[in-house]
Structures are given as structure tokens and as C-alpha cells.
Structure 1
Amino acid sequence: MKNMIFVIAAILCIVKISVADDNSYRDVLENLEDRLISRLQETEVGSLRAQMDTHTETERDENFLNEGQKSDEFKAKKRRPPFAIDRVKPLPVCRPYVPFLPTSTCCERGFAYVDLTKNSPCNAIDTATGIEFLQEPTSQSGVTEDCSKTALLKVNFEKFTKVPCDYCLRKPLCGRRMLRIDLKLSSGTRSNWGFNIGDSRTNDGWKGDSNTQINDAETDGRFPAVRVYQSDKCPTRFPLKTFPNAIGPDVQEVTIYVSNQHIRIVNDQGLDEYVCDNCLYALNGQADSQGVNEDIYIGLNRVVSGRIDRNGVGVCSATLTWACPRW
């Protein structure tokens, strides 16, 4: 078609030259020439469009043929937003169990929290004055039960000067004079030592500390009972007081108050008992031939001294705060 148009146009040119002197013929031939040129241009444009369409169809076919090979990569890119990075699981949020915080302005603020569960995000938190972790939560070798990690804390008390040394402090005073310990217990396995609160760094359960301190009173939480023992100032080997089911199977929460010559045990099953005795915790500068101090030690799922044959399972967490007078 294109070649034929060229031939006709050439003939017209020859004829136009031969009749150059006849204006009437010349106008007719020029008009016919213009129409032929327009037709030629339309043919060129149509040819170009056809080539473009063919090229597009060829690309589409190639993409279709390659789709199977590229589909996985394409889908992976489609799923990922621009500049995407590998997603990281968010860290679990630590929510310490803090049932009580001091409110009076004269009291020590802050708390210490220890989590003894297997997969805890919290571990140990300490914002309180006078409370120190000697051993942060540590798994026991070969023990698979939950709430079986062990920990050890040291707590330093302030002396009070307006009352005698031998004074049973049953009510909170300002400052670091009465410690509150909130324990959460396991709903599963419980066995042996849940806690050991001693006046000596070497308290190891039952009674005594191998002669490290004279003031070595201690309280044992051996499931399901709590037993309170006097110091070496009172030579008896028997417990001063026993609370048979203070941490029994039905008990989930226990609160313990410790102060000079005093301990109080409260649980969620209605128990609320205290013991006052001059052979209990010496936290007001009482004489001791082997060294005066105002410290106690708290072993959780273990005894204070660390005897591995006196560990236990069953305390899931502990929160320590300084008790406050309510005025």
C-alpha cells in the first residue's frame, strides 16, 4: 500500500510538470497530491502504532512466561513495605506486683521486686533505700518446676532512739524501721524452703547460724508451715511459734512484717498473727559479741546461707517496701 502511494505520487509529479502551463489541471493535480500525502502520513503513523502494539504484546508475553520463575520473589517484595526490616517480637512488659507503696512523707519511698518464675521479663528491680540484692534470681540446676528460682536480699534498718533497745515494735514508724514483704505463691508445685528470714548472714534454717552471730533469730517458711525461732540468747531448740498452714495449698498471697523483736504473718485465708520476743530480730543496736548490726537477710526458695540441700520451690515473687505510719 505504501509503495503504491509513492508510485502514484511520482506519476502526478511528472504529469504536473507536463501541464505546468494549464492552471486548471494544475489545481486538480495539486489537490490530488495533497490527499495522497495525507494518506501516506496516516499509513506511516499506523505502521508505528502497530510496531508499538507488537512490542508491548511481546513484553507482556515475556513477563507472562517469566512470571512463574519470578512469582516467589515478586510476592515477597509485594508483602514487604518499602524500607521494611525484619520484624522483631516486642519484648514482654515487666509488671511488678506492688500491692503497697508508702504514702506518708516521713517514710522511705520505693520498692524492691524480685520475680522467681522461669520466663520472667522482670527479674529484679530495686528502687528502695536500704535494700540490696546479694543474689539476683538464679535457676536451680536440674529443677524444672516454675517458681523455682532462688534469690537473696540484705535489708538494713534504722535505729530508733526514743525507745529502749529491747522494745517490740508492733506499729510502723517513720524511716526504715518496719519492713513489709509481700509474697505470691505458686498454684503448682510447692516443696521445702519457700523463704528464710534471718538476723545473721549464715542462718541456714531450723535454728542457729554456726556461731556467726549471737543475734541470729530466723523465720522459716517450709511448706506448708511458718516457724519462728529465737536467737542464741535463748538456747531452746524449739520454735518460738509455729503457724501450721500459713503457706498451705489454699494460700496464694502472704504478707510478712519484720521490725525490732517483732514479726507478723498475714495471708489471704484470714491468718493475721504476730510474735513479740526479746530474742527475735535485733535491729536497734543490741549488743553482740560477734558484731552489732541492724541487718536482716531474706532467702527466697532457699535458706540464707545457701545450703543447696535446703532450697525449695513455690515462691513466685516478692515485693519489699518500708511500712508507713498512717497519719
Structure 2
Amino acid sequence: MKNPAWTWTLGGALVISVAALAQDAPPPPEGPPRRPPPAEEEAGADLVLDLRAGTVRGAHPAVRVLERPSDRNRDGYAEARVRVDLYGYRFLEVVADYDAAPAGFTLDLGDSSTNDGGAGDAATQSNDAEVEVHRGDLRAWSNDDLPANQRKLAEWSRVVVEGTRLRLRIADGELRWQTARGTQREDGRCLSPHLFALDGQPDREGPVNYEVFLGLNRVVSGRRDRTGSGLARVRLRLVR
């Protein structure tokens, strides 16, 4: 059974979200559908970062691990930083698995190498749009083209909890997301010319680029007061 879709605009962005909850039939006796074994899941991924074990598997010429997983604050969850060059690719898919309730900043995906959560980057790039998971909330922030009070393009509250699998699709001016936890499903999207600039758009503060940066259990910039826990594993896949 699906709830009605809802749509609104903020800062020139089209934002759509649909929640679906399987209520027509009881769950099977054995519980929620079984996820495939890790090896099977990882077959289509270009890179897998295990933030519990502190390991990286796979390689891709357009993906560079700038800071390998390391549990610097000793909370049981490693932090990492990754750069992805989308030149020649249609989109980046990020699949994030949470094995505990998210605390702090667990996922920060930005257009700037110094994004630090909440639409800031200390003037490295004017194209500094950002998508973050803070606690359980998913937010999309615009680049510098919008006034400060309009930079939050979209916010979805409590979409990430313990046991959630969050799937993001990142493209030029586009965020699409889905979550899955047991039989519960939710999805949404944000489309805006002020979101990710991945098609050679000019930049007033820095060089033109086609890159996005990921901070895992931290913000991209590495601010020590903006770390997080609960994100256990991330898979990355580039699609032409």
C-alpha cells in the first residue's frame, strides 16, 4: 500500500517523496526478506568500504580513497574520505548500510573538497552543494547561488535508523534516494540547478571540475567536531 506522493519547491528545487509500506500481507515466518551474502552484493560494486573492519575492496580509475578507513575517535566505526570523478559518467550510486542508529554526521557527499555540513565549505568552491545524513535525517543543500536562508533544498526526517539500507543516486543537478528496512520502503528525489554541478559549470571561487567528495562517519572537510557513528558499510558504483 502506498501513501500519496507529496511535492513542493524550495529554492527552485523540485522535491518529491513517496513512502510505501507493505501492509497487505503479513511478513513471512522467517522475518524480513534475506539480503544476499556480502560477496554477491559486492559483485556489481566498484569499491566497497567496510567501516567496521576498516578495509577497502575493489578499485576504479575514477575513484580515489583520500583517507582510508580509520577509527580515530575509537567509537567502533571508522571514518574515511573518498573522491569520485564523474567525467564521462551519468551518475554515481552509493549504497550505505547502517547497523546501529546513526549519531552525528554519518554521510556527507559534497561538490567541494572542504564541505563541512550544512552548506559550508570556507569558500573553496562556489559550486559547493551538499547532501548529508545527520542523525537520522537526510538533507540536500544548494550551492552558493542561493541566499543563506534558502540553501536547504530538501529535508527528510528520520529516514535512516538502525538496520536501514540507504541508496543514493548522484548526478548533475540531481539526488534520488531510496531506503529499505525489513518490509518498509521510502524514496524521494530533489532536482535543482543549484544542486551538484557536474557538467562543466563555471565556478566563481575555484576550478571547474566533475568531482564529488564523500565523508563517511564524518564530514568531507574532516572537522573533528562533526563525526558520526552507525554507518557500517558503503558500496560505490559509477554508471556510464
- TM-score band by shorter chain is 0.7 to 0.9
- Secondary structure of the corresponding residue to residue 191 of structure 1: strand
The residue identity in structure 2 corresponding to 1:116 is: L
User: How far apart, in 1, do the equivalents of 2:155 and 2:124 lie?
Assistant: 25
Aligned length: 199
Are 1:123 and 2:55 an aligned pair?
A: yes
Within 5 Å, give how 1:1-327 maps onto structure 2.
98=41, 101=44, 111-117=46-52, 120=53, 123-141=55-73, 143-144=74-75, 146=76, 148-159=77-88, 176-186=89-99, 188-237=100-149, 238-249=151-162, 251-268=163-180, 269-289=184-204, 290-323=206-239
- 2:30 equivalent in structure 1: none
Over 3 Å counting, the alpha-carbon distance change for 1:97 and 1:243 in structure 2 is farther
- Secondary structure of the corresponding residue to residue 225 of structure 2: helix
How far off its partner does 1:99 sit? 5.4
Q: Give aligned-pair identity as a percent.
A: 26
The residue identity in structure 2 corresponding to 1:220 is: E
Q: Is the 8 A contact 1:214 1:233 kept in 2?
A: yes
How far off its partner does 1:252 sit? 1.9
Deviations 1:145-198 (A, max 9, x none): x3x110110000125xxxxxxxxxxxxxxxx22000011102x35310110000
The residue identity in structure 1 corresponding to 2:64 is: E
Over 3 Å counting, the alpha-carbon distance change for 1:100 and 1:232 in structure 2 is farther
User: How far apart, in 2, do the equivalents of 1:97 and 1:242 lie?
Assistant: 33
- 1:61 equivalent in structure 2: none
RMSD of equivalent CA atoms = 2.0
The residue identity in structure 1 corresponding to 2:82 is: L
Specify which structure has the bigger relative contact order, considering alpha-carbon pairs within 8 angstroms and separated by 6 or more residues. 2
The residue identity in structure 1 corresponding to 2:141 is: Y
- Secondary structure of the corresponding residue to residue 270 of structure 1: strand
How far off its partner does 1:308 sit? 0.6
- Secondary structure of the corresponding residue to residue 198 of structure 2: coil
- 2:12 equivalent in structure 1: none
- Secondary structure of the corresponding residue to residue 98 of structure 1: helix
The residue identity in structure 2 corresponding to 1:241 is: A
**What TM-score, normalized to structure 1?**
0.58
Deviations 1:237-263 (A, max 9, x none): 4411001022134x5211000000001
How far off its partner does 1:272 sit? 1.3
- Larger fraction in helix: 1
Rg comparison, structure with higher value: 1
Over 3 Å counting, the alpha-carbon distance change for 1:96 and 1:299 in structure 2 is farther
How far off its partner does 1:322 sit? 1.6
User: How far apart, in 1, do the equivalents of 2:145 and 2:40 lie?
Assistant: 37
- Secondary structure of the corresponding residue to residue 288 of structure 1: coil
- Larger fraction in strand: 2
**What TM-score, normalized to structure 2?**
0.77
User: How far apart, in 1, do the equivalents of 2:69 and 2:40 lie?
Assistant: 16
User: How far apart, in 2, do the equivalents of 1:96 and 1:314 lie?
Assistant: 21
Q: Is the 8 A contact 1:100 1:321 kept in 2?
A: no
